[in-house]
Structure 1
């Protein structure tokens, strides 16, 4: 696998055809909906199923994405420097055990990132960084914190597609509307937004009602194997490739690729 600090690689899709880069944000205004699990598993799908060179960028101070791949940040307060001092993020990028997946992990400095972005006044700093990294990565997956602030506004400006994991409840549509309003308020032309029911358990009445109310939304089932990802520090596609959860993530990734292609042609 090529080093993260190496020169740009030719962008090729699974069949070798040239493919434009894209930034995919996993975003929710609510915590505990499986956002980090989505980000880690979709990055794996991008690299392994689609053959795309992929960067998973953890913007959540909890650092869950790096942990799920068995990685920790190389130092403290370095993630913040990427935004304030024009430090290249390449020095912080780490390889994973899987071909085609690199991670830019979070550290505790991310907690102060919102105030820092307001202070430096660079409204498109994240968009600039993802555009630069797009020379080396076909897909950049952003694991975003559950906030509504300057950082979330920058995420919207940088993203080509926003994935919104939602808890399966009668309030799912209401929660999704809140996210749409937040995203629409931060850009005149916001990226496509794809809602996804997270941890769906069809044995539960409220979950069935949520699924019936939104039948066109993709869904990721509740499954113990997904929880085991953190224990084994492996994506579900590697840990249990034939499981319903792994197949659901694969279908979701296919839907994401189709949306990106539709947007590219639009």
Structure 2
């Protein structure tokens, strides 16, 4: 089993779209039993997959040991892909994790779920707190979406500091240029400065994910967006294999 965090301290960078589409690639292209764990109280992953939580305001109970995570997991419309939805109850989870003093709670829950899943993908909230620290301890790889802008560059530096602060054996970081539009000068410059980084284009097919509530690979498999996510997933699998 390998766990992958899609994380940024900045909102509006395409984080949830990236997490959902990578989870679909893991389940459909690699045919791995995959769990997408939404840790963002907005439950964007659930919306993009058309999946509602089984119980209202129960997501927090997984961390307080009141509810086994398996009881809240939902099957999606796609083979090999399940979702552990988020809800408003985890909005203050960072503070609560700090108060109970269990610094590896998320890592231990992930180990428990490893018996059923080959890949666990965390859709992380854009926060810096005890929850983000626990994600870094649980993740084998951290994916950081970066729309080409000076603010994104600053946000990336913050993420790097956060990941490195998680311990000596911190997970590797894979930056991804997201919403890339090569018609724009700033975007072209960002691409030229980082030619080896994976890139996800700004594309109408990807925007349709929110309309259809399906991953782009399911609605437009031959589109540039679908190909970009497939290539990124291949790069992730190679990085995980190299880490072993």
| Match among 71, 75, 80 for residue 95 of structure 1 | 75
Does structure 2 retain, via aligned residues, the 8 Å contact 1:94–1:103? yes
Match of 2:96 in 1: 116
Match of 2:25 in 1: 45
| Residue 79 (1) aligns with residue 31 (2) | no
Match of 1:8 in 2: none
Match of 1:215, SS state, is coil
1:228-264 deviation line (CA, Å, top 9, x unaligned)? 1011011000010000000000000000000000001
Match of 2:165 in 1: 185
Query: How do 1:221-232 and structure 2 match up within 5 A?
Result: 221-232=201-212
Alpha-carbon RMSD: 1.0
Match of 1:84, SS state, is coil
Instruction: Give 5+ residue unaligned stretches, structure 2.
Output: none
Match of 1:22 in 2: 2
Distance 2:127 2:145 in 1: 14
Match of 1:247 in 2: 227
1:160 positional shift: 0.3
Match of 1:195, SS state, is strand
Instruction: Give 5+ residue unaligned stretches, structure 1.
Output: 1-20
Distance 1:255 1:146 in 2: 24
| Residue 62 (1) aligns with residue 62 (2) | no
| Match among 137, 140, 143 for residue 160 of structure 1 | 140
Does structure 2 retain, via aligned residues, the 8 Å contact 1:47–1:99? yes
| Residue 215 (1) aligns with residue 215 (2) | no
When structure 1 is superposed on structure 2, of 26-35 and 66-75 the one drifting more is 66-75
1:169 positional shift: 2.3
1:174 positional shift: 3.6
1:207-243 deviation line (CA, Å, top 9, x unaligned)? 1111111111110000011111011011000010000
1:186 positional shift: 2.1
1:86 positional shift: 4.9
1:75 positional shift: 1.8
Question: What is the aligned residue count?
Answer: 244
Distance 1:115 1:173 in 2: 27
